[in-house]
Each structure stands twice: as C-alpha cells, then as structure tokens.
C-alpha cells in the first residue's frame, strides 16, 4: 500500500488531501503533518487521515508532499532529509523554490518533483505544472501527475518555464477575479443592483470558460462570434483596445514572471 505524508495542511494541503480521498485514496494511506496542533487535529477528524510528527510521518512514507510556505522550507527540509527513506519521492508545492534548492537539503540521488498549482484546485478544477528534478525518473513524474489529477489538470514542463507558469496560471485566478470585479462595478455604475450585476458577471465568465473548453475553438473565433459589425460588443472592444488592455495584461504577466524569478533567487 503506497503511503504519502502531506506536510502542511493549509488551503492547498487540505485541498490535496480532500482531492486524493475523492479520487480513491484511502485515509490509511495519508498522514498529515502540521506544526499547528489544532489545525492538524481538525484535518485528521474531518478526513479520517492519520496525523503524526514530521519525523514519524516521513519515515513511513513512499512520497512526501511538502506544502509549506517558501520561507519555511529551510526549517522543514532538514527534518525531511533526516527521516526520508531511500527511494522515497519528494513533491514540492512550495512556490518559487527550485528543485536544486530542494535537493540541496536532501541526500544526493533523492527524486524531487516541483509543482505549481493554483487555487481552483479547491473545486477540482486546478491547473498544475510539474517539473522533474535532477534525479526524478519518468515514473516519479507519472506518480506526481496522478496525485495532482485528483484536483484538476496537469502538464509537465521543463523547470525553466516554471516562472512563466506561475505568472500565467499560478497567479491567473487573480486576473480573472479582477476582471469579474470590474464587470460587477460597471454593472452597478450602469444602474444594476449589485446582486444582479454579480450574478450576470459570474455566470458569464463561468459559461464563457465552459464554452471555450467544450467547443475547442480558439478564443479569437469565439470573440468574433459575439462581435457584430458596428454593434455593442465592437464598441466595447474598441474602448479596450484604445486603453491598451491587452498590452497591460501582457505587461502584468511579465511582471509576475519577473517577480517569480526574483523570489527563487532569494
């Protein structure tokens, strides 16, 4: 029976535990670790998974998921290294931390897979990109892919792309929420009650995303289908172009990429 230890039971750690259980993993296969005892007790009670001190959990695990804040890596990984059994896989869900940085705390030869997820994983619609460390085999990537598929879609990328992934999909939900906020505020400005403006904006974004996925059409094609010559949509899009909204989005995503690179160098 494959066993995993999940170190860190914050939002993403809990999301992974919930997703794994929903995809067929048994509670006995999962051990949760968290330095905040009340949170750990809550997770163990809610999901029926085991809970343990870090050293005990790691020693019994075939794979260790490190789901901590980047600033906690230096404190957590030496403890992981001390108890990690030979052949065990380390899956890092620590934003901005490279596989080389993770490996520097571990015994040479330890397989490491780096993951960049995003928050829609909380509803089973996450987007995760994974990258192999120096000693990770194809089987390690396949195992990590199986874990992350429990909460959404997964792609494998060379690690050099992880900063771009962070900028596009890791931070991406915030851009979508920002646009929805703007649509709601615009509706209110035009006289709509806020609750109605919210329903209109949220369902429009949700439906549009579903149409994009299920139709398989390019976004440009779908946009053109809504845009009648001389119509309301054309007038709106002209304003967006005049205000360089697409260029602003591209610049914003470049800025996120640059910041991700800076954080990985800290």
Query: Is 231 found in the same domain as 131?
Result: no
The tally of domains found in the chain comes to: 2
Query: Is 134 found in the same domain as 253?
Result: no
Query: Is 125 found in the same domain as 45?
Result: yes
Q: In which domain, by residue range, is 132 found? A: 4-165
Give the predicted TM-score (pTM) of the model: 0.91
Where in 86-165 does DSSP place strands (E)? 89-92, 111-116, 126-132, 152-156
Closest C-alpha to 123, from 7, 11, 8: 11
Query: Is 138 found in the same domain as 110?
Result: yes
Low-confidence ranges of the chain (pLDDT < 70): 266
Closest C-alpha to 136, from 190, 100, 176, 177: 100
> Which pLDDT value is given to residue 265?
76
H or E segment and range at residue 180: helix 172-189
Separation of alpha carbons 141 and 87, rounded Å: 14
Q: Reading across the β-sheet that carries 111-116, which strands appear in turn?
A: 50-51, 30-33, 4-7, 63-66, 89-92, 111-116, 126-132, 152-156
Query: Is 230 found in the same domain as 157?
Result: no
Q: b or e along 225-263 (b: 16 or more beta carbons within 10 Å of the residue's beta carbon)?
A: eeeeeeeeeeeeeeeeeeeeeeeeeeeebeebbeebeee
Joined tokens for residue 193: 């009650």
Query: Is 24 found in the same domain as 79?
Result: yes
> Which pLDDT value is given to residue 266?
66
Separation of alpha carbons 205 and 215, rounded Å: 15
Query: Is 150 found in the same domain as 91?
Result: yes
> Are 84 and 101 within 8 A, CB to CB?
no
Final residue belonging to a domain, choices 120, 139, 165:
165
Final residue belonging to a domain, choices 146, 165, 184:
165
Separation of alpha carbons 35 and 37, rounded Å: 6
Query: Is 160 found in the same domain as 233?
Result: no
Query: Is 186 found in the same domain as 66?
Result: no
Final residue belonging to a domain, choices 165, 184, 217:
165
Query: Is 145 found in the same domain as 15?
Result: yes
Query: Is 139 found in the same domain as 70?
Result: yes
């Amino acid at each position: 029976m494959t066993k995993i230890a999940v170190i860190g039971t914050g939002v993403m750690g809990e999301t992974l535990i919930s997703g794994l259980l929903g995809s067929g993993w048994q509670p006995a296969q999962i051990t949760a670790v968290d330095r905040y005892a009340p949170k750990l007790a809550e997770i163990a009670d809610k999901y029926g998974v085991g809970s343990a001190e870090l050293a005990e959990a790691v020693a019994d695990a075939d794979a260790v998921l490190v789901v901590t804040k980047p600033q906690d890596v230096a404190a957590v990984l030496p403890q992981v290294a001390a108890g990690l059994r030979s052949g065990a896989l380390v899956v890092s869900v620590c934003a901005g931390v490279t596989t080389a940085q993770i490996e520097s705390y571990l015994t040479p030869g330890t397989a490491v897979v780096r993951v960049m997820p995003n928050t829609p994983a909380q509803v089973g619609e996450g987007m995760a990109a994974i990258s192999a460390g120096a000693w990770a085999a194809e089987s390690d990537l396949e195992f990590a892919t199986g874990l992350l598929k429990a909460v959404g879609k997964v792609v494998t990328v060379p690690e050099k792309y992880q900063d771009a992934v962070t900028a596009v999909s890791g931070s991406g939900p915030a851009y979508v929420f920002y646009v929805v906020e703007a649509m709601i505020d615009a509706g209110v400005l035009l006289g709509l009650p806020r609750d109605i403006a919210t329903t209109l904006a949220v369902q429009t974004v949700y439906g549009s995303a579903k149409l994009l996925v299920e139709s398989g059409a390019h976004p440009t094609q779908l946009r053109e289908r809504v845009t009648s010559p001389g119509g309301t949509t054309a007038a709106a899009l002209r304003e967006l172009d005049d205000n360089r909204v697409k260029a602003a989005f591209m610049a914003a995503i470049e800025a996120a990429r640059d910041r991700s690179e800076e954080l990985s160098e800290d």
